[in-house]
Amino acid sequence: MSVLVTNLGELTTNDPELGTVRDAAIVLDGDRVAWVGHAKRAPQADSRVDGQGRAGLPGWVDSHTHLVFAGDRTAEFGARMAGEPYTAGGIAVTVEATRAADDEQLRAGLRKHVAEAVAQGTTCVETKTGYGLTVEDEVRSARLAAEFADEVTYLGAHLVPSGTDPDAYVDLAAGEMLDRVAPYVQWADVFCETGAFDEAQSRRVLKAAAARGLGLRVHGNQLGPGPGVRLAVELGAASVDHCTHLAQSDVDALAGSDTVATLLPACDLSTRQPLPEARRLLDAGATIALATNCNPGSSYTSSMAYCIATAVLQMRLSVPEAVRAATLGGAQALRRTDVGVLRPGARADLHLLDAPSATHLAYRPGVPLTWAVWRSGAPARPPRG
C-alpha cells in the first residue's frame, strides 16, 4: 500500500540534488520512498495524509545507545549533580543488575526504550552489548538486542570486570567471547580510555573483530586526551564516539578520513564534561553525527531533539547542520545509505513535526514537536489530530 504525504511546508531530504523542498510531498510505497518533489506534481497513491504546512525530515538515526540493561543509577546521577566527578565506575553497578535480570526483563527494557525513541522520531537505532562481560551474558545481550535494534554492536571491551586480570580479560574479549557473539552483531567497539582499555588492548580487540568481518567503532577521547581517535582512524573505524577532548592532530586525522566523529552532548551535560567542539570539527572538514548515548548511568535520554537543541544553542551548529548530523551523519556512522535521507529507493523513514520548519527544534527547545512517524513505511506514530 502506498501513501502520499502532501502539503508539507518544508521537506529536508539530505539528498544533494533534491535539497530542502518547499511546498513538498513524498510517496511511501511499502518500506521504500517512491517519489519526492513539489506537492503540485505528486502522483496518486492508495492513501493520503495532509501535512497542513508542517515540516518533514528523515527519521533520526541514533547511532550510539546502550539499551540492554537492568537496574537504576539515579543515586549516582544525584551524587554527580552534587559535585562528585564522573569516572565511569558506575558501569559495574549496571553489569551486576543486568546479569541478575532474566531475558523478559531485558526484553521489556529494550521494548520500552526503543518505543520511546520511535515516538520521538527515531527510526534507526544502534545499540550495544557491554553490560554482561561474561561470554554467556554478552551473547544473551547481543541476541536480545538483535530483536529490537537495526544495528547491534559488540562491546565486550567496555570495562574489565572487578577481580579479573586485565590481560586474561582481553584474551577473552578478543577470543571466545567475540567468536560467540559475532553471529548476532554487525560491529565491535572498545572503550579506549584511562580506567578501561589502553591503546594496545584496544587495538588487539578491534583487529580481532575486523578479522572476523565486523565493522569497527571506538569510544574515545571522552574523559581526557588519548589515543582513541588516532586508533579509530588508523584502523578505518566507521565512527569514533564522544570526541570530547581533541588535540589538533585528532581533528586533522578525522578531517582527512571517512571516520565519523559521533558527538554525544547529552552525556557531556549529564557528566558535567565540556561539550565537544562541533564547530571546529565541521570547519576542519570532518563528518559529525549526533547521538543520544542513551544508557542508565551517564546519559539517560532517548531524545534526539534534545541533542539537536543542545548542538545548536551551545555547540554553535546551525539547525540544518545539527539535523543533518542527527540523520545523515548517523547513517554515515553506521555506513548505511538507505536511512537518514529521503529520496526514491531509501527506506521509508519519515518524521513530521508539528511546526512549519525544522528550526523549531532549537527555537522551541524541550517542546514535544513530533506529529507523525513512519518507520520502514509503517505508521509508527500515526498523525495526531
Binding residues for N-formimidoyl-L-glutamate: 131, 295, 297
Stretch (H or E) spanning 312: helix 304-314
Q: Nearest Cα to 292, choosing from 342, 257, 328, 330?
A: 330
**How many residues are given for the chain?**
385
Per-residue 3-state assignment (H helix, E strand, C coil) for 13-43: CCCCCCCEEEEEEEEEECCEEEEEEEHHHCC
Q: Are 208 and 175 in contact (CB under 8 A)?
A: yes
Report the distance separating Cα 195 and Cα 62, nearest Å. Answer: 26
Which residue type does 197 have? F
Judged by phi (left if over 0) then psi (alpha if -120 to 50, else beta), residue 121 lies in left
The per-residue DSSP string of 125-173 comes to EEEE--S--SHHHHHHHHHHHTTT-SEEEEEEET-PPTT--HHHHHHHH
Q: Are 377 and 29 in contact (CB under 8 A)?
A: yes
Residue 66's φ and ψ, nearest 5 degrees, are -130, 85
Write out the binding residues for Fe(3+). Answer: 64, 66, 219, 293
Q: Could you tell me which of 7, 10, 5 has the C-alpha nearest to residue 49?
A: 5
Widest pairwise Cα distance in the chain: 67
Cell numbers placing 328: 545523515
- Enumerate the known binding-site residues for 4-imidazolone-5-propanoate: 73, 131, 158, 222, 298
Binding-site residues sit at 64, 66, 73, 131, 158, 219, 222, 293, 295, 297-298
Helix (H, G, I), strand (E, B) or coil at 330: helix
Burial 110-129 (b: 16+ CB within 10 A, else e): beebbeebbebbbbbbbbbb
Q: Indicate the SS3 state at residue 213.
A: coil
- As annotated, the binding site for Zn(2+) includes 64, 66, 219, 293
